[in-house]
Structures are given as C-alpha cells and as structure tokens.
C-alpha cells in the first residue's frame, strides 16, 4: 500500500513539473508573439498559460496587453473591409468575427483571475458575436449565389457551368440550402457533366486470343476503377458497361470492331456520350520458360576423427550439384485515345508498356559429401523445381498494370 502511495505521489510530482514547464513555455511564447505584433496568437497563448497556472503574473500581464489590441486589430479589419463596399469582402469579414468569437470563448474557459500583485479580480470585456457572424454568413452566401447565377447565365459551355456549380456549392458552405442554390447547383452540374463511354480495346498484337480476352479485361478494369472513383470528380459520368452493350446490341454493332476515330464518334452519339475512351493492344511479346544450368562444386574443411579415435584431423570434402535457373517474361504495349464525339477529333492520347517476368532457381544433388554444401546451396538442393506462371497469367498481370497507367493518365486529363 505504501509502495502504491509513493508511486502516486511521484506521478503527481511529474505531472506538476510537466504542467509548470508548459505554463512557462506558453507564457514566454505569448510574450514573443506580442512583440511580433501577433496579438491574437499572443492572447491565446496567455490563456493556455493561465489555464495551467491562473496566478502567473507574466501571463496575466500578457493577456491584459494582448487581448484589447487583438480585438482592435480585428475590428479595424472589419471596418476597412466594410468601407470598400465590395461583397467579395464578406468571407474575410466573417473570418475576423469568428476570430473575435474564438477569443471570447477562450476567455470564458478561464477561472476567475486574481491579480497577482493587487489581489483584485481581473475583468475583460467579453462580447457575443453570434449576430455579426450570422449576418456575415448570409452576406457571404449571397455574394457567391449572385456570382454563380451570373456564371450560369453567361454561357452554356461546360467549363462555365462547372464554375457556376462550384460557386453555388460555395454559397451553401456559408448557409446550408441558401435560397435555391442546391437546385441551381444540380442544374449547372447537369450541364457541366462530361459523359464518357469506355469501349473494348482492339487487339492489334496478332495474338488472336492466345492470352484470353485481354481487350475485355482492359475495358472492364478501366470502367470498374473509374466507377469506384467517380465521387472524386462530380463532373464526370461514366457510362456503364450494361448501357454500352444494350445500345450496341440494338444497333447490331461490335464495340471492339469499331474503334477508329469516326466510328468511335458514331458509337458515342448513340450512347449520348460526350467523349469516347478507346484504345489498341499494339504488341505482346512472350518468352516461354527457359531453363539454364551450371555445374558447381562446393568444398569444405571438416574435422574428422582418426581411425584410432584418439585425435581429429582436418579433411577437405566436396559436393557436386547442378544449379538451374528458370526465366520467362512478357512485354505488352497499349495505346489509348479520348475522342470528342461532336467533332470526331482526338482530345488526348498516350501509349504505355508493361513488362512482367519470372525468375527462380533451384539445384539438384549430383554426388559427394552433402556436408560441403553452403547454406544457400543446401536450400536450393532442398527446393523443388518452381512452377512458372502461364503466358495468360503474365498477360493478365500486364493488362492490370496498363489499366492502372491508363486510369492515372486519364484522371490527369480530366483535371
């Protein structure tokens, strides 16, 4: 029991020292910030110091000096911004009011302060800026609402409508559901959205399906990734595979058989798309598994008992092994393009390549004393011949990497 009590006392002492150290650090920081003219931060640091030690005379003096000057600085900013009579200033005015409100809240969190010299209660003028903040939020929302309405009426092009939609969203950051900003946002967003269809890639590699349906694999992965990340870009709409298949089936068309720029534009019009993403598998070079071998001899010097068993002598022993290496690889090259449906022109294009390889080794015992084997070669002898990935497995892995490359590049294009 006494041991536990000692530990508790020790813990309290440590906490007290830590609080004292923090108190001094906050107090000193407050003084430095005041000298730098950062009265707002100086006030906050003085408050933090006084939370730990309300009787700290330096922190008390810092608070007395910094708080009135911080308030005055914010009020001067508000007055100056209002005099400019520019509605774009309201978000800045709001920040000043919120800064003053922060100081009021922090002051209210302090216990009653007694002046360390006179013993009198230290009092501060604390204001409630709720009304001013509410007004500044309404005026900020109104500023962005008017700006967004101007943009939405200025032009029907997608870039302008995108700016309008984002500005309507900005208005709602200040006042949720301000006027009809949500409805206006949805309308502007609808006009700004780019509808994109992803078609199966055309296989020009000459592989004739040897590695499976790689064109379909590329298409599926790209669509899947873009669908998963569609929330990252609210102005992009990916046409689903089901929609594409339905339209192509109705028109008795093949997605993989109509991939040139003009036919892509035609498919895009049928799908109601603005842009078509399509591409070609240009090259697939596969190297079948190849095994090479080399004969090795490991030597070691061992201590061996003599025939009479009276002493040990050094003896060199050898072990012969055959070390094998199996290697296979595949290289694939694809290109993709983004075609504007309305003009048939290529807006963007890029090529990528991916290399996949497999290399492994093992060994077989030939003859001699196994004790001569190094630890590495012993492990290789105990290892079975590795099974190399098939050509389809390497091709699929390459296509997944290429799909990721295309998606990354396409996202940059969308931005």
d(CA 182, CA 188): 10
Q: Which CATH number fits domain 197-301+318-414: 3.40.50.10610, 3.90.1150.10, 3.40.190.10, 3.40.50.970?
A: 3.40.50.10610
Q: What is the pLDDT of residue 308?
A: 63
Segments making up each domain of the chain, as ranges: 22-128, 137-192, 197-301+318-414
Placement of tokens 């075609």 in the chain: 339
Alpha helix (H) residue ranges in 272-359: none
When pLDDT is averaged across residues 377-382 and rounded to a whole number, the result is 96
Strand partners, 357: 329
d(CA 210, CA 395): 10
3-state secondary structure 271-306: HCCCEEEEEEEEEEEEEEEEEEEEEEEEEEEEEEEC
**139 contacts 87 by C-beta, under 8 angstroms:** yes
Q: 60 falls in which pLDDT band (50, 70, 90)? A: very high
**235 contacts 191 by C-beta, under 8 angstroms:** no
The dotted CATH code for 22-128 is: 1.25.40
The better pLDDT of the pair 379, 230 is held by 379
pTM above 0.85, yes or no: no
Which token pair is 277?
Answer: 């993403």
Task: Single out the residue of 376, 365, 381, 371 nearest to residue 299, CA to CA.
Answer: 371
| Backbone torsions φ then ψ of 392, nearest 5 degrees | -65, -40
d(CA 215, CA 228): 20
Q: What is the pLDDT of residues 137-182, one digit of tens each?
A: 999 999 999 999 999 999 999 999 999 999 999 999 999 999 999 9
| Domains 22-128 and 197-301+318-414 belong to one CATH topology | no
Q: What is the pLDDT of residue 15?
A: 41
Q: What is the pLDDT of residue 7?
A: 46
Q: What is the pLDDT of residue 107?
A: 95
| Backbone torsions φ then ψ of 12, nearest 5 degrees | -65, -40
When pLDDT is averaged across residues 70-87 and rounded to a whole number, the result is 97
When pLDDT is averaged across residues 363-375 and rounded to a whole number, the result is 95
**285 contacts 331 by C-beta, under 8 angstroms:** yes
The better pLDDT of the pair 154, 411 is held by 154
Mean pLDDT of the chain: 88
d(CA 299, CA 370): 10
Q: What is the pLDDT of residue 76?
A: 97
Q: What is the pLDDT of residues 5-19, one digit of tens each?
A: 444 444 433 344 455
């Amino acid at each position: 029991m006494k041991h536990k009590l000692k530990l508790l006392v020790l813990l309290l002492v440590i906490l007290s020292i830590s609080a004292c150290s923090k108190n001094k650090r906050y107090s000193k920081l407050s003084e430095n910030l005041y000298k730098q003219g950062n009265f707002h931060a100086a006030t906050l640091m003085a408050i933090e110091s006084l939370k730990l030690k309300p009787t700290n005379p330096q922190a008390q003096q810092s608070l007395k000096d910094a708080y009135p000057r911080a308030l005055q600085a914010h009020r001067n900013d508000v007055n100056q911004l209002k005099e400019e009579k520019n509605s774009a200033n309201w978000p800045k005015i709001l920040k000043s009011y919120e800064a003053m409100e922060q100081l009021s809240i922090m002051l209210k969190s302090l216990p009653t302060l007694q002046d360390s010299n006179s013993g009198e209660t230290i009092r501060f003028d604390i204001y409630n800026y709720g009304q001013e903040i509410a007004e500044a939020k309404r005026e900020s929302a109104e500023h962005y609402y008017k700006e967004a309405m101007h943009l939405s009426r200025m032009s029907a092009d997608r870039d302008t409508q995108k700016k309008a939609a984002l500005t309507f969203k900005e208005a709602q950051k200040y006042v949720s559901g301000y006027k009809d900003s949500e409805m206006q946002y949805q309308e502007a967003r609808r006009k700004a959205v780019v509808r994109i269809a992803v078609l199966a890639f055309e296989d020009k590699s000459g592989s004739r399906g040897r590695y499976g349906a790689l064109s379909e694999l590329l298409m599926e992965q790209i669509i899947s990734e873009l669908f998963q990340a569609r929330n990252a870009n609210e102005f992009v709409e990916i046409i689903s595979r089901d929609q594409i298949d339905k339209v192509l089936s109705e028109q008795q068309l093949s997605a993989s058989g109509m991939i040139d720029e003009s036919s892509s534009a035609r498919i895009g019009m049928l799908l109601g798309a603005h842009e078509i993403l399509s591409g070609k598998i240009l090259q697939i070079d596969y190297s079948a598994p190849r095994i090479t071998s080399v004969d090795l001899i490991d030597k070691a010097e061992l201590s061996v008992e003599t025939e009479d068993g009276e002493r040990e002598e050094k003896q060199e022993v050898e072990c012969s092994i055959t070390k094998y290496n199996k290697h296979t690889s595949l290289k694939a090259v694809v290109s993709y393009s983004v075609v504007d449906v309305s003009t048939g022109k290529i807006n963007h294009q890029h090529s990528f390549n991916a290399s996949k390889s497999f290399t492994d080794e093992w060994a077989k015992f030939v003859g001699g004393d196994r004790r001569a084997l190094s630890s590495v070669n012993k492990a290789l002898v105990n290892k079975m011949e590795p099974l190399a990935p098939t050509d389809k497995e390497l091709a699929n892995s390459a296509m997944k990497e290429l799909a990721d490359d295309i998606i990354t590049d396409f996202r940059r294009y969308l931005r």
